[in-house]
Structure 1
Amino acid sequence: MAGRVIVIMGVSGSGKTTVGACLSEDLGCVFLDGDDFHPQSNIEELIICVMWDPEKMSKGIPLCDSDRGPWLGAICQAATQILLTNPTVVIACSALKRPFRDALRAANPHSSAAYHVSFFCLQAPACVLADRMRQRSATGLHFMPPSLLQSQLSLLELDDDEGIITVDSTWPIHAILNFIKSNINC
């Protein structure tokens, strides 16, 4: 079985969740928000070395690469399961470094499901991203403090040979969606 995974990636504040949810609605497919796949047992036990540790993130401590392994594995497993019955899934995931994207490209080795992955990187000026993060933090809508923006920007690797399509996330949502939909098969 083959399917298509569309990853909406970028740093915090770039609009991944909003764009991903709207895109999946437009395409009539399943949406996975990467933030929903952090190991709950680790969060509850407050083990520091997990991808999603609100304690760590809210204190302004950037994640290390090893923090992301279980999280990326959970996203891949969910995508593989969805693709068994659906042809397309949209995932919002930071995917800042090539090894993280490589993990998302890999089908679950214990499944017969295979899939093609397209990456769309939402980008905006740092001042726009910081402002969005401040607004979300002030309203309690997100865990990540603006102080971690620079660490994410520093981690972001966009290798030309990967075919990642960049999208200006300051555009209106309908323009972003139209651009992505017109470039899905590129």
Structure 2
Amino acid sequence: MGAGAGAGAVTVRTVHTADLGPEDRRAVRALLFAVFGAEMTEEDWTHCLGGLHVLAWENGELVGHAAVVQRRLMNGDRILRTGYLEGVVVRSDRQRRGIGGKLMDEAERVVRAAHQLGALGASEAGVPFYLARGWRPWPGPTWALGPHGRQRTAEEDGGIYLLGGEGELDQSADLVCDWREGDLW
């Protein structure tokens, strides 16, 4: 069925990485690398693992994905259990059809039910979508807590978006993420 042909019903399924079968794992990885192209790295792929995957299927084909992985963000003297979104993507020929909204409905449900805060690093193209859903940009400086202490991540300033946690956050304090290989945020 071509991109202009009628679309089938989209179903959304949530599954933990541990329960993601080999075929589904390959399909998720292939989708991410196909849509993100050269921007997608092996480290980015590993950032999607270890949490919950929200999968959108249409006519037996994977057309969308979002991962919610647990991270720790520090704000002032608080450590916040954070549902961090990774690998939010809809297949190019299925974009702007509501699939991203269905993925985010479920990902946001998981964030609200299991975490103190939601966070993600938004691409420029994704910003209007996230703003329309109630995500808000972190207004202050960003940092990462690494093997040699705190490391400034100024390139991420203005690009980190949060959901919830309004009563939890001190906007006069820094926002610090836990360390990981590759993109820190």
Greater strand content: 2
- Which protein is richer in helix relative to its size? 1
Larger Cα-atom Rg:
2
Q: Check whether TM > 0.5.
A: no
Which structure is higher in RCO with an 8 Å CA cutoff and minimum separation 6? 1
Superposition TM-score, scaled by structure 2 size? 0.27
